[in-house]
Amino acid sequence: MQRRDFLKLTGLGMSAALMPLPAFSMPISEAESREPIIDTAEKKKLADVALNTAKSLGATYCDVRINRNLNQAIFTREDRVQGIANSQSFGVGVRVIVNGTWGFASTNTVTPDGIKRATERAAGIAKANSRLQKEPVKLAPQAGQGEQSWKTPIKKNAFDVPIAEKVKLLLAVNAEAMKLGVRFVNSQMFMINEQKYFASTDGSYIDQDIHRIYPTFTVTGIDIATRKFQTRNALSMPCGMGYEYLDGDASEKQQGAGGVTTLYKKRYDMLEDVKSAAKQVQEKLAAKSVEAGKYDLILDPSHLWLTIHESVGHPTELDRVLGYEANYAGTSFATLEKWKSKSFKYGSPIVTLFADKRQEGSLGYVGWDDEGVPTKRWDLIKDGILVNYQAIRDQVQLIDQQESHGCCYAQSWADVQFQRMPNVSLAAGKQKLSPEEIIKDVEKGIYIIGDGSFSIDQQRYNFQFGGQLFYEIKNGKIVGMLKDVAYQSNTQEFWNSCVAICDESDFRLGGAFNDGKGQPSQSNAVSHGSATARFKSVNVINTARNI
- Indicate the DSSP class of residue 219: E
Q: According to the model, what pLDDT value does residue 266 have?
A: 78
- The closest alpha carbon to 68, from 38, 42, 112, belongs to 38
Residue 426 lies in a domain: no
CA dist 112 and 484 (Å) reads: 60
Residue 374 lies in a domain: no
**Domain identity same for 210 and 253:** no
**Domain identity same for 74 and 156:** yes
Residue 65 lies in a domain: yes
Q: According to the model, what pLDDT value does residue 224 have?
A: 86
**Domain identity same for 191 and 129:** yes
**Domain identity same for 92 and 174:** yes
**Domain identity same for 274 and 184:** no
Residue 436 lies in a domain: no
Residue 442 lies in a domain: no
CA distances to 20, 26, 109, 242, 284 from 34, rounded to whole Å, are 21, 14, 20, 14, 44
Contact by Cβ (8 Å): 229, 222: yes
CA dist 521 and 328 (Å) reads: 9
**Domain identity same for 86 and 108:** yes
**Domain identity same for 170 and 277:** no
- Indicate the DSSP class of residue 396: G
**Domain identity same for 203 and 237:** no
- The closest alpha carbon to 55, from 225, 233, 201, 268, belongs to 201
**Domain identity same for 36 and 181:** yes
What CATH number should be reported for the domain holding residue 206? 3.30.2290.10
Domain boundary among 288, 320, 344: 288
For residue 531, which amino acid is it? A
What pTM value is reported for the model?
A: 0.92
For the chain, residues with pLDDT lower than 50 are 1-26, 31, 547
Q: How many domains does the chain have?
A: 2
**Domain identity same for 140 and 272:** no
Residue 124 lies in a domain: yes
Residue 398 lies in a domain: no
CA dist 209 and 207 (Å) reads: 7
**Domain identity same for 138 and 67:** yes
**Domain identity same for 92 and 231:** no
Query: pLDDT tens digit string along 314-324?
Result: 999 999 999 99
Burial of 494 (0-12, 13-18, 19+ CB in 10 A): buried
Residue 367 lies in a domain: no
Q: According to the model, what pLDDT value does residue 34 have?
A: 64
**Alpha helix stretches (DSSP H) within 342-479:** 435-440
Domain that holds residue 158: 5-214
Domain boundary among 214, 245, 262: 214
Query: pLDDT tens digit string along 39-74?
Result: 999 999 999 999 999 999 999 999 999 999 999 999
- The closest alpha carbon to 266, from 233, 244, 293, belongs to 244
Domain boundary among 183, 214, 245: 214
